[in-house]
Amino acid sequence: MKVIEHIKQAKETIFSFEILPPLKGQNIRDIYNTIDPLMEFKPPFVNVTYHREEVVYKRLNNGLLEQKVVRKRPGTVGICAALQNRYKIDAVPHILCGGFSREDTENALIDLDFLGIENVLALRGDSIKGETYFVAEKNGHTFACDLVGQISDMNKGIYLDEELKNNTPTNFCIGVAGYPEKHFEAPSINNDVQNTLKKVQQGAEYIVTQLFFDNTRFFEYVEKCRQVGISVPIIPGIKPIATKRHLSLLPHRFHVDIPDELVKSVVNCRDNEQVREVGVEWAIQQCKELKEAGVPVLHFYSMGKVDNIQTIAKAVF
């Protein structure tokens, strides 16, 4: 079933979360062990992230550097199929512009369609190491709105090969990303919101936001979206702080602010065990307020760890 249908049918806020495919060489049982404790909160859908190739450099005996392209976390499509089969819930694979030509995208979508996967989260992806800016694959998409456009075309039976006739339309529900604190490359929040509007105009049916720690930023963002005519559901993304290192890592990686009150509490913690308690408590208060405000879904970023999400979900759902 489509995410948008789950949202329409729900009588109260839905619990959902995202998982990362395991590192290459690990077992799918690691994923099941991650997910099992969260199933008591009845998530109707689970997102599975997609990870591009990375460029690593290996020093050779002669002192020269050898460039190697590696995929550390393959398997998004396989995991989605396995999750749907095992838990009878909907899987939402993330699909990227980065690393994909239009042809690759079409073929990936055909695979997903054949596997009975009806949802995708369409993203641009980040630049890879060594590139300052995002560079599209040859004959690939530069912005997520163009990827959304391709998926919407396939939903109308329009494939890349114009000579194909009587094509079966796919039936994907398309989600996209939104940034309450602005995407880091955008010149202004208003410009970024306009670009998000383009994704909706191309066929996106809901938005999942980047993680944030200050609900005011989320509420203001929703307001801005509504003002420009974005009427689709906007799902807040939640990530509890769990270590002192997160104070520098999360702003660096996700370009978000951490409120002073939270920073102070984390800094004053004796150890990471205490930080975890502070982070969980902050997220619980965030979630309670968001739920009270009637958000359709609370979407949790697991980053491979779920015990704190379990504690939060117990307090909120």
Residues near ligand FAD (CB under 6 A) are 49-50, 52, 94, 96, 123-126, 143-145, 177, 183, 185-186, 192, 195, 198-199, 208, 210, 237
HSE-CB of 168 using CA atoms within 13 angstroms = 7
Contacts for 138 with CB less than 8 Å, ≥ 6 apart: 101
What is the distance between the alpha carbons of residues 312 and 163, in angstroms, rounded to a whole number? 53
Half-sphere exposure of 29 (CA within 13 A, CB side): 1
Q: For ligand FAD, give the closer residue by CB, 41 or 50.
A: 50
DSSP string, 75-131: -HHHHHHHHHHHH-SEEEEEEESTT-BHHHHHHHHHHHHHTT--EEEEE--PPPTT-
Q: How far is the CB of 161 from ligand FAD (least distance, A)?
A: 25
Residue 191 CB, nearest approach to ligand FAD (Å): 6
Please report how close the Cβ of residue 177 comes to ligand FAD at its closest, in angstroms.
Answer: 3
**Length of the chain as a residue count:** 317
- Phi and psi at 267, nearest 5°, equal -60, -40
Q: Among residues 53, 48, 82, which one has the least CA distance to residue 70?
A: 53
Q: 119 or 265: whose CB is closer to ligand FAD?
A: 119
Q: What is the CA radius of gyration of the chain?
A: 20
Of 94 and 276, CB closest to ligand FAD: 94
Residue placing its CB nearer to ligand FAD in the complex, 148 or 275? 148
Task: Write down the least CB distance from residue 95 to ligand FAD, Å.
Answer: 8
3-class secondary-structure state, position 148: helix
Residue with Cβ nearer ligand FAD (53 or 281) = 53
Compute CA distances 70 → 67, 98, 129, 255, whole Å.
Answer: 10, 15, 12, 26
Taking the C-alpha atoms of residue 237 and residue 255, their distance in angstroms, rounded to an integer, is 14
* For ligand FAD, the closer CB: 96 or 238: 96
Nearer to ligand FAD, 104 or 281 (CB): 104
Coil, helix or strand at residue 315:
helix
Q: How far is the CB of 120 from ligand FAD (least distance, A)?
A: 11
- Nearest approach, Cβ of 175 to ligand FAD (angstroms)? 8
Provide the minimum distance between the beta carbon of 53 and ligand FAD in the complex, in angstroms, as a whole number. 11
The smaller minimum CB distance to ligand FAD, of residues 199 and 217, is found at: 199
- Residue 244 Cβ vs ligand FAD, minimum distance, rounded to whole Å: 24
Of 132, 110, 129, 131, whose CA–CA distance to 120 is shortest? Answer: 110
